[in-house]
Chain A
Amino acid sequence: DAGITQSPRHKVTETGTPVTLRCHQTENHRYMYWYRQDPGHGLRLIHYSYGVKDTDKGEVSDGYSVSRSKTEDFLLTLESATSSQTSVYFCAISERGTDSYGYTFGSGTRLTVV
């Protein structure tokens, strides 16, 4: 299995606090992605990265920022958490973007904002 780990696996935080989720890969893949999963919406892309320091927005990027200072790490930050950001967050990696056999996903981070 591809080496991809997300941390933490679960987190409860208060409204207004900043939160950072981490995705770590050992596959040296170029592309990394952050999705959120909500009932009725499936998986929606928040941000993605196509190389170190190269990132771009997805369809639901408001309220989120990302950073990728090393190939292996992709961080997702909620600047000021809101209840609408309660969700399950998945990181994914890909060797060649869409010109490959899809993504490999992490196991997810369940975030609750109270």
Chain B
Amino acid sequence: GQQLNQSPQSMFIQEGEDVSMNCTSSSIFNTWLWYKQEPGEGPVLLIALYKAGELTSNGRLTAQFGITRKDSFLNISASIPSDVGIYFCARPTSGTYKYIFGTGTRLKVLA
């Protein structure tokens, strides 16, 4: 089936540290999205990637579309307490109007 594997499942880091997480797919696609979900809220789009090798930044966040087109990476530099949340990757399903989502990486930042 169509699956997105995210790792790690959870991370506990100290404030100021850099964070890396990734998402892999068994299939090739042309779009990767990264979302962040804060407690009690719905996910919010952070970064969208549309081309293999593409590197896109949004403040302290940087995401990359893997060269193989089967994976994507999200990095957060100099983490702060408000980075806490669940980070989801997502990609479209073939020939449909739908995105599928990864299982999420739960990030906790210790001050």
Q: Which residues of A contact B (CB under 8 A)?
A: 31, 33, 35, 40-45, 48, 50, 58, 90, 92, 94, 97-98, 101-108
Complex Cα gap A102–B31 (Å): 10
Query: Which stretch in B13-21, B34-42, B57-65, B69-77 binds the other chain?
Result: B34-42
The answer to whether B97 and A94 touch across the interface, beta carbons within 8 angstroms, is yes
How many whole Å from A66's CB to the nearest CB in chain B? 14
Interface size on B, residues (CB 8 A): 25
Q: Which of A40, A48, A98 has the most CB of B within 10 A?
A: A98
The answer to whether B44 and A105 touch across the interface, beta carbons within 8 angstroms, is yes
The answer to whether A43 and B43 touch across the interface, beta carbons within 8 angstroms, is yes
Complex Cα gap A94–B31 (Å): 15
The answer to whether B101 and A98 touch across the interface, beta carbons within 8 angstroms, is no
Contacts of A50 in B (CB 8 A): 97
Contacts of A104 in B (CB 8 A): 45
Contacts of B98 in A (CB 8 A): 33, 45, 48, 58, 97-98
How many whole Å from A109's CB to the nearest CB in chain B? 10
A42-B88, A43-B88, A98-B92 are known contacts. Are A48 and B97 too (CB-CB below 8 A)? yes
Which 10 A-B residue pairings sit nearest by Cβ, starting from the closest? A105-B42, A97-B97, A98-B92, A42-B103, A43-B101, A102-B33, A102-B45, A42-B101, A42-B104, A105-B43
